Amino acid sequence: MENNESDIRSLLELAGRRSSTVVYEGYARDDQNVRDNLLIVESSESIYSFSKSDIREEEEIGASGIAEEGETGERRVRVWVRAGAQAFRTTPFLAGESFSPFTVAMEQVAPPAPPVTLGMPTPAPGAEGAVGAAAPSLPWVGANWANSCAGGDSFGNNCAHFLSDAFIRAGYTELQSYGARCYTWAKRPIRAREMWSWFNSKAVRRSNTVQQNTGWWAVFQLNEQVYWGGHVALLNSNSMLYYGTGWYGNWNQYLYQW
């Protein structure tokens, strides 16, 4: 009995350490250019440098669990990197191009379950019967909400992926060339923070509180201590229905109208 309890505790601890992480594999060695960073050579196309403080777990991999050795003696590892961590990445480039840090992707990591709070907006049952307009409107986006991507793919965090699908279906085709996008022909944006930036560029009205009967709002919700990537949704404040994969009413609210 004690052994079973110990095994369960160990599994829970492991799950806790690996939650909100992204996995990378490759040959590893200390980064000689950035102090306290680990260099991961995934392939000739992708080389990463992660701060060791952002690596939650690390294990050596190879045949039968024995570490493989690269030609220059590097060890082959699998690492779990904190989602949202700043890191460096090199890929083939043309002379004169610049590099910048990148953020470890959040779309592969599922966010925490949204809270259920009395008085908060509730999920919309489906399209509300909006009809076509001369210019795409936020109600028309709601009418095109399908809780899916036209390309049929899915990620751990689908909030931006599925909401951008509704925006594109409604006529905002500019999003098909905006930021990081899914790998299908549909090319839907997949990062909530990039959708946040797009909301801000479109907005003519902004608010940080949800107020009933003020119309339709594109919403970004954020609590960096809980989930760095944030969450996006569409809100009809007249009916207090939201279109999205969840509603995080206890996070910071950023609302936009246009």
Q: Note whether residue 133 is domain-resident.
A: yes
- 8 — pLDDT class (breaks 50, 70, 90): low
* Model pLDDT for residues 199-239, shown as the tens digit of each residue: 999 999 999 999 999 999 999 999 988 888 899 999 999 99
Cα separation, 216 vs 198, in Å, equals 16
Residues 177 and 230 occupy one common structural domain: yes
Region of 161 on the Ramachandran plot (φ > 0 left; ψ -120 to 50 alpha; else beta): alpha
pLDDT the model gives residue 180:
87
**Does one domain contain both 205 and 144?**
yes
- CB-CB neighbours of 67 under 10 Å: 13
0.75 exceeded by pTM:
no
114 within a domain of the structure (yes/no): no
Residue with tokens 């190879």: 62
Q: What's the pLDDT tens digit per position in 129-148?
A: 444 444 579 999 999 999 99
- Whether residue 15 is contained in a domain is answered as no
- Statement to judge: residues 73 and 131 lie in one domain: no
* pLDDT recorded at residue 238: 95
For residue 113, being part of any structural domain is answered with no
pLDDT of residue 21: 82
The answer to whether residues 42 and 143 belong to one domain is: no
pLDDT in tens, 144-169: 999 999 999 998 889 999 999 999 99
Q: How many domains does the chain have?
A: 2
Residue 168: per-residue pLDDT: 96
* Residue 1 burial class via C-beta count within 10 angstroms: exposed 0-12, middle 13-18, buried 19 and up: exposed
pLDDT of residue 228: 87
Same domain membership, residue 153 and residue 199: yes
Structural domain of 46: 22-103
- Per-residue pLDDT, averaged over 112-118, amounts to 76
Residue 236 lies in a domain: yes
90 and 37 fall within a common domain: yes
In angstroms, rounded to a whole number, what is the distance separating the alpha carbons of residues 86 and 101? 6
Asked whether residue 214 is assigned to any structural domain, the reply reads yes
Whether residue 163 is found in the same domain as residue 204? yes
Tell me: the pLDDT tens digits for 66-93? 444 444 556 899 999 988 787 887 766 6
Q: Give Cβ neighbours of residue 76 (< 8 Å, ≥ 6 apart).
A: 25, 26, 27, 28, 60, 61, 62, 67, 68, 69, 70
List the structure tokens of 207.
């608010």
Same domain? 85 vs 171: no
Task: Tell me how far CA of residue 43 lies from CA of 14, 24, 82, 140, 149, in angstroms.
Answer: 28, 11, 21, 44, 30
Contact 208, 252 (CB under 8 A): yes
Asked if the structure places residue 165 within a domain, the reply is: yes
Which of the two residues, 96 and 52, has the higher pLDDT score? Answer: 52
User: In terms of domains, do 86 and 137 share one?
Assistant: no
